[in-house]
Amino acid sequence: MYLKSLTLKGFKSFASATTLKFEPGICAVVGPNGSGKSNVVDALAWVMGEQGAKTLRGGKMEDVIFAGAGQRKPLGRAEVTLTIDNSDGALPIEYREVAVTRRMFRDGASEYEINGTKARLMDIQELLSDSGIGREMHVIVGQGRLNQILESRPEERRAFIEEAAGVLKHKRRKEKAQRKLVSMQANVDRLNDLTQELRRQLKPLARQAKAAQRAASVQAQVRQARLQLAGYELAQLAAAHEDIQKQVHAAQEQRELVVEQLEQAHILHAEAEQEVARATPAAEQAQQLWFQLSALAERVAATQRIARERADNFVELSYQGQDPDVLARQAERVKSECAQLDENVEIARQRLENIQEEVSDYELRAQEADKEHMAQVRAIADRREGVVRLVAAQEKYNEQLKVVAAEIARYNEQLEHSRSRSQDIEKRLLESEQAWVQAQDAAQPLQEAHIQATAEADAAEKRLEQLRAEQKNLEKQVSRLESRIETLQAAAPRAHTSYAGSSENKAAMAELVPLANKMKMRAEYAGQEKALAAALGFFAEALAGAIDDETLAQLVSQPGNVTTIARQTPGDTPWRLDADLPAQTQWLLDALTIDSGYVVAVTRLLADVVLVPNLDLAMEVINNDPRLRAVTYDGQLIGQGWVQFGQGAISTLEVEAQVEVAQSELEVVQAQLAEIAGTFSGAQTAAQEARVAVAQATANMRDHNNLIAQLERDVQRLRGEKATLQAEHEKLADHAQAADIRQVEVQKHLDDTLDRLARVDSDETQDQELSTHQRDEAFAALSQIKAMELEAKLALRSSEDKVRTAYDRLRGLERQINYERQAKAQFEQQMVRKRQQAQLAQWVSDKATVLGQQLSEVLEQAQRDREDKAQQRAHWSTRLQETKSAHSALQAQHKRLSDNVHALELASTQASVRLEEARTKIFEQLGVPVEEIARDYLPDSDFDEKTVREELREAEKDLNALGKVNPLALEEYKALEERYDFLANQLADLERARQDLSDVIEGVDKKILQLFHDAWLDVEKEFPKVFSTLFPGGQGRLVLTDPQDILGTGIEVEARPPGKKVKRLSLLSGGEKSLTALAMLVAIFRARPSPFYVMDEVEAALDDVNLRRLIALFEQLRQDSQLIVITHQKPTMDIANVLYGVTMRGDGVTRVISQRMSPELRQSQTQQSQPEQQINEED
């Protein structure tokens, strides 16, 4: 594909029809400035769809029409036709040659044609974009385009690659779809508003339509139900008034009977109160006495136990310390060693004194020799220097002697004071050490007393914890048994005593008790309640009580739960069956204890029941006498032709038996708990006394330990003071010795000065040669004797150390002897005291044993007395509670009956008033005479008031819920519903269309991403190659600003020409910038080739070297694409296949002259230009 021709009519300076026929390869357009060369480029851009007037170098689009020049008048339209050779099928159109025409008129109207057929601008743009020619015209490159590349932002540079990759067409599709989405959203919002408004209107219309349909039927139901209920209400009120009158008479008679019973119960209650008043003080006194004796017995037992432990813990011990006599003999030996060492010290001291005398002689000789020598030397010097300095030295030494003498006197005074303080501290230290040792010795008895008290307290606490654990265990058993009793009582089946009849009948039912309370198994048959419950069956849950025939008849006539009542019939005589029973079996009635008033009722139930131990005997009984029933201990009931077995719900009889067993266990545990309470009180007292003893022993030991610690601190403090004082004494002695030395030295210097003065005054002194032989011999002898003196001092010091050590051992032995003697005496005293304490403890243990035996007998007697009196009080308390309960029950019954009589009388009056009010109200509300209602609407036997009232309530509720009825609501509802359905369908269609557009946008995004990514990789790869061609030795690359966002990332250009380190485009020269921009464009051209490219004077700013490099790129590009080059450069003209010359005469009209260039001519021109190129490169 390539541009075949371009025809211009009235376009800018082309006033006459002009046709440029292009060839494949490079077509060069040349001519002087202002001749209209660039108008050819503008025509190409315009015909391919350019819409920007500024891009076409005009102020408005009408400027492209020839405006007139000279004698030429302005034209009315501009027309450009571009003919494209499509023989390779690059354009998606079924033509080998495509002619695109665009014309514009003065009025601004435009026309587009493709091969003479009318078309749209979009059709032309999409047709060209499929061949790589986008709307932005990246194939047309001029100076403005290069500046645009250089000055654009990174995000704008990516548009060049997008256009080359064919992305812009897809972007336009995306933008168009997005615009449609936006416009569609307005329609969707409008439809949503309409449908919501219709839904809001439909709901009340639907309710009104429904209400109109139901209104008539509901009103008829309401009137019918009200008439039926009015008849029922009249009948019920009349019957209730008659029934209440009967109840009033019955309640009055029953109240008179209860008054007589209440008087008799009051007498029995007063008698029980008197007996309880007599029994309670005696029982409490016996209880208190038993508690006191129990506590005393526990204290005696604890005392006996502690005394026995103290007696058993005594052991006769011998003294474990060192023998004082042995230590005394060791001390005598150490004294002998001290005497011998004293003699050695005296010998060493005598030897040292002798040597020191010799040292003094030798020192004197050496000093005299040295003095003589120095005197001679100084005399010579003094005669030279004069006597003035010697006199001054004499005065200085005299002053120093006075100062040193004062220091020596002060030091001697301080040493005397230090010796006095040392003696005082030594004395106090000795006293403190003795007191410390004595205190440590006295700590042993206190520790033993504390250990013994702690052991006794632990034993008492252990005994107390044991009793407390037993008490808690018993309390847990009491709690467990009480909980079990409560659980059993709660789990016991409850007989139905509720009654919906009159208050009199309710009171009669409330006085009934379970039948199980009127019978129980005999003691020898305890635990067989399961058999009794099985034999009774459902009668086990029956009620029992005195009830008259009239009340019974009323109870039976009223509806309610199934109720079984055993009536009290004391006048009847029970009867028994006569039958022979096998061994180990007996009548069940013989195993029961039955209340006298209910013997007949129970006998009627169980007269035929035999109690047997197992199933075999049961079968034998039934086989012998089919009239009988047999029940086993496990609750298996057998009769002729039937058997009952298995586990069912627990019966009242079984519960009562288990409750009785639990109560018996509870009484035993409570008695044990009361018994242990006394023992626990005594153990608490003994433990408290033991704790007090431990606290006292702990306090004594703590106080004594504090005393020992204080004495130890005093000893350490005095030892520290002694050491400090000794160090101060040694320091003062050193200072005094140093002062003595300084005094001797100053005196020596003074004597030397006086001698020198004497020698200076003597005229006999003569200068002579000095000799040192005599002085050297004297000092050598002095050194030898000094060494002997040092050895003697060391020997004396060693002997003194041995003596000091021996005397320290002697003093330590003497202190140890005194300590061991005192410790042995104290140990013997402690053993005597412990022996006495053990004997006393044994005596106390024996006495406590006897007293404990006596207390045990007294305690047993007190226990029996306490139990007897407690039983008496419990008996009368129970009797009192029974009489009180009976009296209270009768009082409550009397009150209930009185209240019932009053309530019934009041109810009778109220019933009469209600009946009259109901008649008046019914007539006023329904407008129907009462006689007519009583005749026509009396209730039938199957009339259900609850159902009718429920129907009336529902009907009234529906009628009220309907409110005001709109008769036109149904028609309005149907019309509105049809409109709502139509809009809903339209909205659904729009939603589907919007989803389709969203899918299109998503697909376009994927396509754009793929196209741009592939194009970017190719351009990125080509740019370094192109850049290295234009800048040999340089480096350049393209970089994405945001690689993570391929759809929005920009492109940065990095260029580093050879010999430079800069990469920013702004730092490059003009020519370098142009070449860099061209490098980017050429990289795009090579990555995504287009059929043709237009270059408008892009090499104008280049020198010959760079021009040759650019021409080389042109040579590469024309292998795949057609190049139309607007140029002034001769080298560029040399490579062109076709050369167009553009000229303009004075009439302002452009004319074109063409010349086809032969290959031989181009080659010769190229060879002629090579020397020039070489010269330029050398420059």
Give tens-digit pLDDT for 298-314.
777 777 777 777 777 66
Least confident range from 356-360, 502-506, 1011-1015, 1159-1163: namely 1159-1163
Q: DSSP letter for 14, please.
A: B
Residue-level pLDDT at 750: 74
- φ/ψ of 1155, rounded to 5, equals -150, 120
582: left (phi over 0), alpha (psi -120 to 50) or beta: beta
- Whether the pLDDT of residue 763 is over 50: the answer is no
Residue 648, CA distances (Å) to 584, 615, 1025 in order: 27, 19, 103
Nearest to 497 by CA among 486, 507, 487: 507
SS3 category, 993: helix
- For the chain, how far is it from start to end, CA to CA, in angstroms? 42
Least confident of 320-324, 368-372, 425-429, 1087-1091: 320-324
In this prediction, residue 118 carries a pLDDT of 92
What is the pLDDT at residue 658?
67
Q: ∠193-199-204 over CA atoms, to 5°?
A: 135
More confident call, 1135 vs 805: 1135
Backbone angles phi, psi at 1060, to 5 degrees: -125, 150
Question: Does the model's pTM come out above 0.85?
Answer: no
Rg (CA), the chain: 71
Measure the CA–CA gap between 379 and 763, rounded to whole angstroms: 11
pLDDT at site 557:
66
> Mean pLDDT across the stretch 65-88?
87
Residue 386: band (very low, low, confident or very high) from pLDDT cuts 50, 70, 90: low
Query: How many other CB atoms are there within 10 angstroms of residue 157's CB atom?
Result: 20
92-106, 423-437, 783-797, 1039-1053: range with highest mean pLDDT: 92-106
* pLDDT at res. 401: 77
Of residues 540 and 401, the one with the higher pLDDT is: 401
* Of the listed ranges 495-504, 914-923, 968-977, the one predicted with least confidence: 495-504
* Helix, strand, or coil (residue 492): coil
Which helix H or strand E contains 380, and what residues bound it?
helix 324-385
Q: Pairing state of beta strands 140-142 and 513-514?
A: unpaired
β-bridge mates for residue 1156, sequence order:
1138
Neighbours of 896 (CB within 10 A): 19
Tokens coding 123: 């059709």
- Sheet containing strand 18-21, edge to edge, reads 18-21, 2-9, 77-85, 97-105, 110-114, 117-119
Mean pLDDT calculated for residue range 909-923 = 78
Give the single-character DSSP code of 72: B
Interval 171-189 mean pLDDT: 79
The 3-state DSSP composition of the chain as helix, strand, coil percent (nearest 5) reads 70, 10, 20
Are 709 and 326 in contact by the 8 Å Cβ rule? The answer is no
DSSP character at residue 523: G
- 64 or 803, greater pLDDT: 64
User: Is pLDDT of 1114 > 60?
Assistant: yes
Of all residues in the chain, the percent with pLDDT exceeding 70 is 82
pLDDT of res. 770: 47
Find out whether 64 and 12 touch, Cβ atoms under 8 Å: yes
Q: Looking at per-residue confidence, does 258 or 101 come out higher?
A: 101
638 or 448, which is more confident? 638
DSSP state of 567: E
Q: How confident is the model at residue 1170 (pLDDT cuts 50, 70, 90)?
A: very low
**In the structure, what pLDDT confidence band is assigned to residue 80 with cuts at 50, 70 and 90?**
very high
CA atoms of 956 and 1002, how far apart (whole Å): 61
Question: Using an 8 Å Cβ cutoff, are 92 and 130 in contact?
Answer: yes
Residue 490 pLDDT exceeds 70: no
Residue carrying structure tokens 């039976």: 556
Indicate the SS3 state at residue 1016: helix
What is the pLDDT averaged over residues 1074-1100? 80
Q: In what order do the strands lie in the sheet with 26-30?
A: 140-142, 1092-1096, 1122-1126, 26-30, 1138-1144, 1150-1156
**Reported confidence tier of residue 479, pLDDT bands at 50, 70, 90:** confident
Which tops the pLDDT comparison, 571 or 1085? 1085
Q: Which has the minimum average pLDDT: 49-53, 145-149, 330-334? A: 145-149
Mean pLDDT of 530-543: 73
Token couple for 81: 């036709």
The pLDDT of residue 764 is above 50: no
CA dihedral 558→560→566→570, nearest 10 degrees, is: -20
8 A C-beta contact, residue 295 and residue 678: yes
Q: Count Cβ atoms below 10 Å from residue 372 Cβ, excluding itself.
A: 15
Q: For the residues 510-514, what does the mean pLDDT come to?
A: 68
Least confident among 503-507, 867-871, 1112-1116: 503-507
* Residue 723 pLDDT grade (very low, low, confident, very high; cuts 50, 70, 90): confident
Confidence class for position 113, pLDDT limits 50, 70, 90: very high
Q: Is residue 1059 packed enough to be buried (19+ CB in 10 Å), middle (13-18) or exposed (0-12)?
A: exposed
Helix axes 503-510, 167-313, angle to 10 degrees: 50
pLDDT at 501 over 60: no
- Average pLDDT for 784-797: 73
**What beta strand segments (E) does 843-909 contain?**
none
Q: How confident is the model at residue 99 (pLDDT cuts 50, 70, 90)?
A: very high
Packed helices 121-129 and 167-313: angle between N→C axes, nearest 10 degrees: 70
Cα(797)–Cα(1020) distance, integer angstroms:
103
Q: 698 or 945: whose pLDDT is higher?
A: 698
Per-residue confidence (pLDDT) for residue 569, from 0 to 100? 59
Average pLDDT over all residues of the chain = 76
Tokens of 38: 């660039």
Q: Check residue 1159 and give its pLDDT.
A: 52
Q: Among 122, 74, 66, 119, which Cα is nearest to 95's?
A: 119
Contact, 144 vs 1100, CB < 8 A? no
β-pairing, 543-545 with 586-587? unpaired
Q: What is the mean pLDDT of residues 512-527?
A: 72
pLDDT at position 766:
47
Mean pLDDT computed over 244-269: 80
Query: Which residue would you say has higher pLDDT here, 481 or 216?
Result: 481
The C-alpha atoms of residue 894 and residue 910 are separated, in whole angstroms, by 24
Residue 518 pLDDT > 80: no
CA atoms within 13 A on the CB side of 1113: 29
Neighbouring-strand partners of residue 1092: 1122
pLDDT at residue 494, as a whole number:
55
In the structure encoding, which two tokens stand for residue 768, read together? 């002579």
Given this model, what pLDDT does residue 7 score?
A: 93
- Are residues 124 and 979 in contact, defined by beta-carbon separation less than 8 angstroms? no
Give CA–CA dist 508/504, Å, rounded. Answer: 6
Instruction: Please check the confidence at residue 1174 and state whether its pLDDT lies above 50.
Output: no
Lookup result for tokens 């002085």: 775
Helices (H) and strands (E) in the chain, counts: 21, 24
Amino acid residing at 538: F
pLDDT class for 1178, splitting at 50, 70, 90?
Answer: very low
More confident residue, 573 or 581: 581
Contacts for 627 with CB less than 8 Å, ≥ 6 apart: 577, 579, 608, 640
